[in-house]
Structure 1
């Protein structure tokens, strides 16, 4: 692949004689990918409406999954953690708050869970402003003592 280099010469004036700047420019061959990654064409209203419908379907699907996992606190906590890590938890603030409130109010016993779920429950509840005591949990060699 060859490139053509040209030089742009700044016209000489008496003031610019001492500060003459020569800039090189390159005329590269067009990319094999074209300009599809550079240019951005505005979307038409039909595509925007379809995308909004798909987004709303995904939101409803998550809400159904979160409600379906209401009997399993560890599954709910995993879903909440995943949504937060994806960075889209702001779409589900009320659902997440209701699920955590349910877990907190019903005093779901995290002592029966493994260390991962116990830690996840403490972190998520504390992160959302709930006063959760670490209790007298001791964890050694994969078992709660």
Structure 2
């Protein structure tokens, strides 16, 4: 059996034609191999096309029982309260972004935008982040007066959002 597979692999690797009778006997093609294997090793298959016979297994019962399958429905009041709290916090963060953008402290605004992006929740605040970065870019807030961290952070965030910021003087 192993020799048949080796011959078939050899045939596929070297592109030997399997159409003539001599090569087909020497290197059996895939279709003849698959029919040979399916005829030999298929005791669980049906004898006719309409009936499928499958083996059943007697598995031991789970040590967890059915507690994960039949869990109680969620409490809708708790779910609604959590959604209201999340929405309230979103509005608070939006307000913070806009307040930081309106102030002349670009480092605070940049830190807030960077933290929101690193937390992976920036998709909730896309318009506010764009407004904050647009304010920093349009007002030419000079980031060179700050420390190296603020300058690098401003450069990276503005470049990431598609603003044309020069890397030098």
TM-score, normalized by length of structure 2? 0.56
- Computed over aligned residues only, the root mean square deviation of the Cα atoms, in angstroms, reads 3.0
Give the match for residue 85 of structure 1.
Answer: 118
Structure with higher helix content: 2
Take 2:114 and 2:70, find their aligned partners in 1: how far apart are those partners?
36
Judging by fraction of residues, say which structure has more strand. 1
The structure with higher relative contact order (CA 8 Å, sep 6+) is: 1
Distance 1:89 1:26, change over 3 A: same
Match 1:114 to one of 103, 122, 147? 147
Q: Tell me which structure has the larger Cα radius of gyration.
A: 2
2:161 alignment partner in structure 1: 128
Q: 5+ unaligned residues in a row in structure 1: which ranges?
A: 1-24, 137-145
Q: Does 1:44 align with 2:44?
A: no
Aligned to 2:20: none
Structure 2: runs of 5 or more not aligned: 1-57
* Cα 1:106/1:46, change in 2 over 3 Å: same
Q: How does 1:1-145 map to 2 (within 5 A)?
A: 30=63, 41-70=72-101, 71-136=104-169
Say if 1:133 and 1:49 are closer, same or farther in 2 by CA, change over 3 A: same
